Structure 1
Amino acid sequence: MECVVVELNLNRRRFLQYSAGVAALMSMPRFALASTQSPKIINFNNLHTGEHLQTCYFDGKNFVNTELDKVNHICRDFRRNEIHPMDRRLLVQISEIQRLLATDAEVQIISGYRSPATNESLRAHGHKGVARKSLHMQGRAIDIRLSGIDIAKVHKAALQMKAGGVGYYPGSRFVHIDTGAVRSWHG
């Protein structure tokens, strides 16, 4: 067996840059690395506003900013008409759930971004499962169902990714996904 020694001439700055790049790649879920090879299309339906959006948010190489703006709009806090940027990783998670379930079913939005005022109002009116420091207020969470797909299957696929928080609300027929720590709960 032949051993090849490669000598790298790295200064401290370049070493830190390479290290940061490797750390970023290692922290990404496995599916995120594999899923960035082709364009990603999602069909959204906001159940509260009746709005529909078909978006190609990723063109195979880059996120498409004009499409992300459309996603931010359809995921807005409809009660206050406030728009906030949604975490791109949520879109990657949704696409991966669809891939795992071999479907391109419409993604029905129950709740996307929630302003702090809306979040507090929901808590005050006794909505169960509304966290005081909800990631919805940071655009890092979304509550969804997939049209025609058993919610238990959506839940199982979301758990399989191990990409963030997963809340299962079978009574209300939706799954919460977020980009926080990996954890799960039933509501």
Structure 2
Amino acid sequence: MNRRHFLGLALSTAAAPVLAKSPSERPRVLSLHHMHTDEKIAVTYRIGDRYQRAALGKLNHFFRDFRTDDVVAIDPQLFDILYDVKLRLGDPDATYQILSAYRSPRTNAMLRRTSRGVAKKSLHMTGQAVDVRFPDLSTRHLRDTAVALSRGGVGYYPRSNFVHLDTGTVRRWGA
């Protein structure tokens, strides 16, 4: 047996027992950049059907109300929506830019007084909403991809250059 045949045999037998993980077993990783705090995080928040407790704690802190530093438990399904949107976009390593996540009732009230379009009972106050964009992708394409998932609410704000995603009932609004 020559060296090439031996190496080929070794590689073929070594590769045989290794099976690719099914999509549901792959680690779910989110990469995020908070535009107000300039914090960045990349975290495996779920493996298979199991959410990773420590990772959820990091994400809860990352999604905090940056004005008050209040932290709540963010709905893990929101992370799943973010993950599934970036998969559908074909870029599992893409980094979301976060513009708004959890808002304390105090912050939400202040924003209602100073801005248009802030809901009195915003899902941001219950840890069920996030406003996002990608630096190199149109918000229209992001919106269309999120709408195609048919999960939660999708708001489109082209003038402000972001898309609102939430885990509420399936609905859409915006231009």
Shorter-chain TM band: 0.7 to 0.9
Aligned to 1:120: 109
Question: Does 2:135 align with 1:147?
Answer: yes
What secondary structure is seen at the aligned counterpart in 1 of 2:130?
strand
- Post-superposition offset of 1:36: 3.2
- Post-superposition offset of 1:149: 1.4
After TM superposition, the structure 1 = structure 2 runs for residues 39-78 of structure 1, keeping only pairs within 5 Å, are 39-78=27-66
- Post-superposition offset of 1:165: 0.5
Question: Does 2:87 align with 1:105?
Answer: no
Label 1:182 to 1:35 Cα distance change in 2 as closer, same or farther (>3 A): farther
Q: In 2, distance between residues paired with 1:170 and 1:35?
A: 33
Out of 35, 38, 49, the position equivalent to 2:26 is 38
Percent identity between matched residues is 39
Aligned to 1:136: 124
Q: CA RMSD of the aligned region, Å?
A: 1.3
User: Could you give the per-residue CA deviations for residues 102-141 of structure 1, whole angstroms, max 9, x where no partner exists?
Assistant: 012111110000000000000011x122100000000000
Q: In 1, distance between residues paired with 2:34 and 2:152?
A: 22
Question: Does 2:134 align with 1:164?
Answer: no
Structure 1 segments, 4+ long, off by >4 Å, are none
Q: In 1, distance between residues paired with 2:31 and 2:136?
A: 13
- Post-superposition offset of 1:37: 2.6
Q: Normalising by structure 2, what TM-score?
A: 0.84
Gaps of 5+ in 1: 1-33
Q: In 2, distance between residues paired with 1:134 and 1:35?
A: 33
Question: Does 2:162 align with 1:186?
Answer: no
